[in-house]
Amino acid sequence: MTPTRSAALPVLVACVALAAAPGPATAQRADSSRAIPANLSLLDAIRLGRERGVNEALARLNVDVVNARVRQRRADLLPTIAGSAAVSRQTINFEEFGFPGITGVSDPIHLVALQLRGSQTLFDASAIARLRAGHDTAAAAELDARAAGEASGAVAGLAYLRLLSATETVRAREADSAVAASLLEQARQLVTAGVSAEIEATRSEVGYASVRSQLEIARNTLARARLDLARALDAPPGTPIEPTDSLVGGDVAIPTDVDAAVQFARAHRPELAAEHARTQAAERSLSAIGLEALPSLGVNGYYQKTGPSTSALAGSYLVQLGLHIPILDGFRRQARSAEQRARVDAQRLRERDLGNAVETDARQAILDLASARQQMALAATRVRLAETELAQARERFRAGVAGSVETTNAQSSVIGAHDALIQAHVAYGTARIAAYRALGVLSEMR
pLDDT digits (tens, 9 = 90+) for 190-236: 888 877 788 888 888 888 899 999 999 999 999 999 999 999 998 88
Which one is predicted more confidently, 2 or 254?
254
The structural architecture, per CATH, of the domain 42-79+121-295+334-444 is Up-down Bundle (1.20)
Q: What are phi and psi of 297, to 5 degrees?
A: -120, 135
Buried residues in 415-429 as b, exposed as e (16+ CB within 10 A): bebbbbbbbbbbbbb
* Average of per-residue pLDDT across 268-294: 95
For position 26, what pLDDT does the model report? 41
Alpha-carbon span 178 to 400, nearest angstrom: 22
- Check: pTM over 0.85? Answer yes or no: no
Lowest mean pLDDT among 24-28, 131-135, 366-370: 24-28
Residues 6 or more apart whose Cβ sits within 8 Å of residue 411:
176, 179, 180, 183, 207, 211, 390
| pLDDT tens string 120-149 | 999 999 999 999 999 999 999 999 999 999
Give 2's pLDDT tier (boundaries 50, 70, 90).
very low
CA distances 23 to 50, 117, 127, 370, Å, are 30, 22, 23, 54
Domain spans, the chain: 42-79+121-295+334-444
